[in-house]
Structure 1
Amino acid sequence: MALLALPLAASPQEPPTPLTPSPALSGCTGLVRIPSAEVLPYGQYALGVNALSREYRPYLRGGDTVAHFVTVGVFPRVEVSAVFTNHDGRLGAQHYEDLGTGVGGWNIDRMLSVQAVLLPQTAARPVSVAAGWQDIAGTGAFRTRYLVATHRRPTYGLHLGVGDGILGPVFAGVDAQATPQIRAMLEYDGAHANLGVEARLGHFRVTPVLSGLKSLGGGITYCQSL
């Protein structure tokens, strides 16, 4: 019995299970603002709300913003996001008496986004590659088209991409799994460095962020399977 126990005692400790992907503040899977070459699992959805100051998510009206999004893994390796951004920095949507203001009298911007993993990471290919298009249908205030590569390990991920519009021309980031429930994120979105921490509490994910390493923002996301 002692001889049988020796191999068990000498066996290496199992690495921690990597965290499943989470939406960035844009609604697309990623870090703080930049996307990663990952998507929500097929059949999973995420509902989120987050706030950023006007400097880090500028809109046509120039106010602080609150984004509300729903993201769904509609196919294996493909997700779609719908985002409603209140450009008065308030929850929900408010209607103006003057129908000539904003978008049809409402103080929200509406946009549709899609992200797809073109090449998954394998033992022979150490990176995954994804392409995305944010703000396909909308005012174009938050539009970007991008290509991003991710190298994922059990406790960290490395990300590098190119894009236009609000991202890039080059963006990069790293995320690290501090505990089974905590993920730290550091990124450069092409204009600012951003820092974030994601805490997982059951199906909820709370994400405080420092945009530009100085402006406090963040949000909360609920993730569940259909």
Structure 2
Amino acid sequence: MTTPLGVEIDALTHRFRGAEALSDITVAIRPGTITGLVGRNGAGKTTLLSLIAALRPAQTGTVQVGGRDVWEDPSVTSRICLVRERGGIFEDLRIRHTLRLQGALRPRWDEEYAVELLGRFGVPLKKTPEQLSRGQRSTLGAVVALASRAELTLLDEVYLGMDAVARRMFYEELMADYIAHPRTIVLSSHLLDEVEDLLEDVIVLDRGRVVAAGETDAVRQQHSTGGSLASLTDVLMHLSTERTPS
């Protein structure tokens, strides 16, 4: 059985060519939760997930997963799975071979589950990812994330290519497998109206800074007006508008 991993980020700053993508971020991700990472384009979501997954070292500050520094520690990184809309999968390798490779890399990989899910979503095992439609390619990434059974699973807009029916199927499967195999899931999404009811916690980024974090309902309540609960889209509009210079 997997043991969910928490994330502790302290004073994290990251720059690209002198421009700050992340600025002095201090935030925690509770183990065993589905946490949403939300923000407008360019807010720093992908950079933050890449640092958590140790795809690049932290320049300033620290990133710890399960109480350990994540950079160059295979005992930690083998327990993390980051899947993005593009990247991380060999485009010219048949999907069946990709699944076997995942099994060699991930100690908790469930290939039987992956094959069953791909069949349910209509993704052919004999093709390569470059031969798939965008929706099928997105589905493959989502399946790899779920079947990894990683204690920390990071999903960076992985389902954007799916149609509405496929996304609904994915959300339902995500919840079912999360209940059956508890882990920590971080879900980065622009489709806030679709995912907000899945999220126990939320982290809101704006221009590289954390502008809100906590339990999702509490964050939504904090930004509600009148008698109705604010949506996460309302929250994001409120916070990003507030920080726009006049």
TM-score (norm 2): 0.24
Task: Name the structure with the higher helix share.
Answer: 2
Task: Name the structure with the higher strand share.
Answer: 1
TM-score (norm 1): 0.25
Higher gyration radius (CA): 1
